[in-house]
A and B are shown apart, each in its own frame.
Chain A
């Protein structure tokens, strides 16, 4: 790593707990803006509950649109946590250390936000309990063969696993915070750290738990977005019924999720002044990872298009014609290509770009704009021409309510993230200290080469 810094334990404790123990003005400004966006969403939702789903652009033909697109988008963003935290932990990538907790927290809040949207989309969310087999008196059982029933199982399993993942890794840092606080904060951290003293046995259990959770959460990570994709794939809607959706959605999720982490890291570096911990090396590594993931995503995207045309079925080609040639979907199609691959990836091939925090921030935002549009263009055009009878062909225009709900979801995730970072250190303190401990140097001739220690 080119940006290696030697930091003492005390310096790490002080710098990584500074944001937790202090109240800078910029924090209050940011959380107020995020909170207001979230409140706008609550207002929009209240209006929708009062006046019904008619205030949205949804209609009997296009029954899924903005809200479901947003649901899929946030599930996708939530894949970043496991990708970076679990996989990089198992492969012992050193550069993961400052990134893992932020990615895991993003996962938890993104997933919680995603889980809200099917409830919003129901229009009558108080009937959500119908998906659980708890009311024998109704005589109505949920259909376990429906992907819509698999969805909550997968999402809540992933949410539980991700939350455990965050918490287990947080315990040693909570103990550090406990030892540096008094009053209410001290009591809170004392309860949460479960009596952590840093004994060899506790460290052994903590490491083992981290590795086990990393291994166990990987199949959940793959299954979640696969099951979300099967909401579409199991139907016979043209452009939806295709075998590629599961890995296509997963790789798209990783693409948007890791881009989301890049956005987040840039924000943390600038907002929380963590230049000592989030260095250009990390953006370089994330940029290289994104190049590989984006190329894999492009392969699946192109395969999906090719197979749409391969059999020359009327319904399929009609959907493709709409997606690629008809306004406004053709504009979105071009934007997907440009934003998700053909602008960012050629830039990421250059080290100078990968090490530039602002460029990485901008390109990662572009990717997520493209990926949101990609989910929209999968969902809506297929529904517009679902029926062969022209008198039921529909159109879709998003309403202000739906747009507000979508934008407020970003406010909700930001609000949750800022709140978390105010209470808990957003960069793992213990992990950083371990990273310092395994740093070494070896002499090769007259040159001193940075090295790391492996057990």
Chain B
């Protein structure tokens, strides 16, 4: 039944689709078909579960070998926490941005992005050991925060990083719960069970709908601002201040833009997977991929712009401290990760996404998104592993340390962390549907395909 759809046709290839289902058919598809797990789903859960367990083994190996006192050994785990923050955990920003921009094509995409808020819970747990191993600020390391004696196991800046991350997770969970409420209520009415507790008293009164839409916008805006704040703290206290002489005012913003680029890339890859394996083939079309490919190109250019701003200022100024930082992060021991990150995050997206034919496809933006996600991994390796290997204090990095290659424990931790995040997403997707039922129904009400002169056009209602 969900093969019934009406395409707009004109003399060129159409690029809008409208699923022609009744509300009842749509409800049954979302709540029965999407929430049930097939063999592919079970295989995926098994695979990522095994990899996650391997990651736990890697973590135990790391603790056994180095404990929590030697922070150079924890560079790769720190890099992977930042990677998950700036890819999966940032994805809900895409949903908020599309909702705020009122793009009519966003409806099948929103929930796919919003579900990534759950990844924040596991990433918060992954962050804890990193905060324990951070070098103390009493040794002369710079920090944004003043020193205080706290009763907590880790003192500033670790406390503030944890608190900020916790705020992000709580905000994200609140956002996910709020936007899922109507669907949870529909599941309550159809299936009962745990949904009776989750759906609370939602009955869909006009006031409740108004509160939901305002709340989604407000929480979405808070999520974006909190993400930028967390990104700023990660950039400053988990990376920049570990290197004496590294004073880069744009770095927090650069870190945030990397996150937004990663968010769009993650959403695109998730959309492609949901289209191929998640049962959303009739809902995710070229239109969504085409639309997201443009901000993907824009954020890739923005990433380069911010990198260039740093590089030019440092290269032109030629101060000894800045030259040492360039050596550490770009042209010295981490030259290869830098080149790979540059290629995957900027050159490949630029060369391919400037072509309309690549953007107007499903495979094109998906492959570029994969490229960006690979580039992100190298990017965070150079931005975190390098600084974590610095054990000096002072005003200048006297000696650039050698590159720190990953060992088996590092590889297991990285693979396990990413798998754990994906596993969390997969499990949540069987509780909260990946297609927003109420959003899709609203879209069906507000869109029409109708004849216009000699062609057909999409008419989009704008009740606001």
- A interface, CB within 8 angstroms of B: 1, 90-91, 219, 222, 226, 230, 233-234, 236, 241-247, 295, 299-300, 303-304, 306-307, 310-311, 440, 442, 444, 449-455
Residue of A nearest to B306 (CB): A247
Q: A454: which B residues are within 8 A, CB to CB?
A: 16, 104, 457-460
Q: CB < 8 Å: which of B16, B225, B306, B462 contacts A452?
A: B462
Q: CB < 8 Å: which of A90, A241, A243, A304 contacts B251?
A: A243
Q: CB < 8 Å: which of A230, A233, A440 contacts B459?
A: A440
Contact A243 B313, beta carbon cutoff 8 Å = yes
- B interface, CB within 8 angstroms of A: 10, 16, 101, 104, 142, 144, 225, 228, 232, 247-253, 294, 301, 305-306, 309-310, 312-314, 316-317, 319, 395, 445-446, 448, 452, 455, 457-463
Contact A449 B250, beta carbon cutoff 8 Å = no
**22 A-B residue pairings within 8 Å (CB atoms):** A230-B312, A243-B249, A245-B309, A245-B313, A246-B250, A303-B249, A304-B249, A306-B144, A307-B247, A307-B249, A310-B142, A310-B247, A449-B462, A449-B463, A450-B463, A451-B460, A451-B461, A452-B460, A454-B458, A454-B459, A455-B455, A455-B458
Residue of B nearest to A147 (CB): B316
Contact A311 B142, beta carbon cutoff 8 Å = yes
Contact A444 B313, beta carbon cutoff 8 Å = no
Q: CB < 8 Å: which of B144, B294, B461 contacts A442?
A: B461
Q: A243: which B residues are within 8 A, CB to CB?
A: 248-251, 309-310, 313-314
Contact A303 B446, beta carbon cutoff 8 Å = no
Residue of B nearest to A442 (CB): B461
Contact A303 B252, beta carbon cutoff 8 Å = yes
Contact B10 A247, beta carbon cutoff 8 Å = no
Say how far B150's CB is from chain A's closest CB, in angstroms: 22
Contact B247 A311, beta carbon cutoff 8 Å = yes
Q: A304: which B residues are within 8 A, CB to CB?
A: 249
Residue of B nearest to A87 (CB): B298
Q: B232: which A residues are within 8 A, CB to CB?
A: 303
Contact A236 B144, beta carbon cutoff 8 Å = no
Q: CB < 8 Å: which of B253, B455, B462 contacts A450?
A: B462
Contact B250 A444, beta carbon cutoff 8 Å = no
Q: CB < 8 Å: which of B228, B312, B460 contacts A299?
A: B228
Q: A307: which B residues are within 8 A, CB to CB?
A: 247-249
Contact A241 B317, beta carbon cutoff 8 Å = yes
Contact B305 A442, beta carbon cutoff 8 Å = no
> Measured between alpha carbons, how far is A242 from B463 in the docked complex, in Å?
46
Say how far A96's CB is from chain B's closest CB, in angstroms: 13
Say how far A77's CB is from chain B's closest CB, in angstroms: 21
Q: A1: which B residues are within 8 A, CB to CB?
A: 462
> Measured between alpha carbons, how far is A440 from B451 in the docked complex, in Å?
13
Contact A236 B309, beta carbon cutoff 8 Å = no
Which 6 pairs across A and B sit closest by C-beta, in order of nearness?
A: A244-B249, A307-B249, A449-B461, A246-B309, A244-B250, A243-B250
Q: B319: which A residues are within 8 A, CB to CB?
A: 236
Say how far A144's CB is from chain B's closest CB, in angstroms: 13
> Measured between alpha carbons, how far is A286 from B319 in the docked complex, in Å?
43
Q: A90: which B residues are within 8 A, CB to CB?
A: 294
Residue of B nearest to A454 (CB): B458
Contact A247 B462, beta carbon cutoff 8 Å = no
> Measured between alpha carbons, how far is A61 from B248 in the docked complex, in Å?
27
Q: A299: which B residues are within 8 A, CB to CB?
A: 228, 253
Given A243-B249, A306-B144, A310-B144, verify A452-B459 contact (CB < 8 Å): yes
Contact A451 B459, beta carbon cutoff 8 Å = yes
Q: A444: which B residues are within 8 A, CB to CB?
A: 445-446, 461
Please name 14 further chain A to chain B contacts, defined as beta carbons within 8 Å, in addition to the given A90-B294, A295-B225, sorted by A numbering.
Answer: A230-B313, A234-B317, A241-B313, A245-B309, A246-B305, A247-B253, A303-B232, A303-B253, A307-B247, A310-B144, A311-B395, A451-B446, A452-B460, A455-B458
Q: B445: which A residues are within 8 A, CB to CB?
A: 444
> Measured between alpha carbons, how far is A453 from B72 in the docked complex, in Å?
58
Residue of A nearest to B105 (CB): A454
Given A230-B312, A442-B461, A454-B457, verify A449-B446 contact (CB < 8 Å): yes
> Measured between alpha carbons, how far is A338 from B143 in the docked complex, in Å?
28
Contact A247 B247, beta carbon cutoff 8 Å = no
Q: B313: which A residues are within 8 A, CB to CB?
A: 230, 233-234, 241-243, 245
> Measured between alpha carbons, how far is A226 from B312 in the docked complex, in Å?
11
Q: A242: which B residues are within 8 A, CB to CB?
A: 249-250, 313
Q: B317: which A residues are within 8 A, CB to CB?
A: 234, 236, 241
Residue of A nearest to B143 (CB): A310
Contact B251 A442, beta carbon cutoff 8 Å = no
Q: B250: which A residues are within 8 A, CB to CB?
A: 242-244, 246-247, 303
Contact B309 A226, beta carbon cutoff 8 Å = yes
> Measured between alpha carbons, how far is A454 from B462 in the docked complex, in Å?
12
Say how far A328's CB is from chain B's closest CB, in angstroms: 26
Given A243-B248, A243-B310, A311-B142, verify A453-B459 contact (CB < 8 Å): yes
> Measured between alpha carbons, how far is A335 from B73 in the docked complex, in Å?
48
> Measured between alpha carbons, how far is A234 from B310 in the docked complex, in Å?
11
Residue of B nearest to A4 (CB): B462
Given A453-B459, A454-B16, A455-B457, verify A91-B101 contact (CB < 8 Å): yes
Say how far B382's CB is from chain A's closest CB, in angstroms: 17
Residue of A nearest to B241 (CB): A310
> Measured between alpha carbons, how far is A279 from B248 in the docked complex, in Å?
44
Given A234-B317, A306-B144, verify A244-B253 contact (CB < 8 Å): yes
Which residue of A234, A299, A304, A442 has the most chain B CB atoms within 10 A of its CB atom?
A: A442
Q: B101: which A residues are within 8 A, CB to CB?
A: 91
Q: A233: which B residues are within 8 A, CB to CB?
A: 309, 313
> Measured between alpha carbons, how far is A379 from B198 in the docked complex, in Å?
56
Residue of A nearest to B232 (CB): A303
Q: B455: which A residues are within 8 A, CB to CB?
A: 455
Given A234-B313, A303-B253, A451-B460, verify A222-B305 contact (CB < 8 Å): yes
Say how far A377's CB is from chain B's closest CB, in angstroms: 16
> Measured between alpha carbons, how far is A159 from B455 in the docked complex, in Å?
40
Contact A247 B305, beta carbon cutoff 8 Å = yes
Say how far B396's CB is from chain A's closest CB, in angstroms: 11
Q: A241: which B residues are within 8 A, CB to CB?
A: 313, 317
Q: B247: which A residues are within 8 A, CB to CB?
A: 307, 310-311
Q: B457: which A residues are within 8 A, CB to CB?
A: 453-455
Q: A440: which B residues are within 8 A, CB to CB?
A: 459
Q: B253: which A residues are within 8 A, CB to CB?
A: 244, 247, 299-300, 303
Q: B314: which A residues are within 8 A, CB to CB?
A: 243
Say how far B464's CB is from chain A's closest CB, in angstroms: 8
> Measured between alpha carbons, how far is A455 from B449 in the docked complex, in Å?
10
Q: CB < 8 Å: which of A295, A310, A450 contacts B461?
A: A450
> Measured between alpha carbons, how far is A401 from B175 in the docked complex, in Å?
56
Say how far B157's CB is from chain A's closest CB, in angstroms: 12
Q: A91: which B residues are within 8 A, CB to CB?
A: 101
> Measured between alpha carbons, how far is A307 from B253 in the docked complex, in Å?
13
Residue of B nearest to A235 (CB): B317
Say how far B331's CB is from chain A's closest CB, in angstroms: 17
Say how far A385's CB is from chain B's closest CB, in angstroms: 18
Contact B462 A455, beta carbon cutoff 8 Å = no
Q: A247: which B residues are within 8 A, CB to CB?
A: 250, 253, 305-306, 309
Q: B305: which A residues are within 8 A, CB to CB?
A: 222, 226, 246-247
> Measured between alpha carbons, how far is A242 from B316 in the docked complex, in Å?
11
> Measured between alpha carbons, how far is A306 from B237 in the docked complex, in Å?
13
Residue of B nearest to A311 (CB): B247
Which residue of A1, A303, A449, A455 has the most chain B CB atoms within 10 A of its CB atom?
A: A455
> Measured between alpha carbons, how far is A142 from B386 in the docked complex, in Å?
40
Say how far B246's CB is from chain A's closest CB, in angstroms: 9
Say how far B455's CB is from chain A's closest CB, in angstroms: 8
> Measured between alpha carbons, how far is A139 from B323 in the docked complex, in Å?
33
> Measured between alpha carbons, how far is A236 from B250 in the docked complex, in Å?
17
> Measured between alpha carbons, how far is A257 from B301 in the docked complex, in Å?
22
> Measured between alpha carbons, how far is A299 from B314 in the docked complex, in Å?
22
Q: B463: which A residues are within 8 A, CB to CB?
A: 449-450
Residue of B nearest to A303 (CB): B249
Contact B458 A453, beta carbon cutoff 8 Å = yes
> Measured between alpha carbons, how far is A417 from B262 in the docked complex, in Å?
43
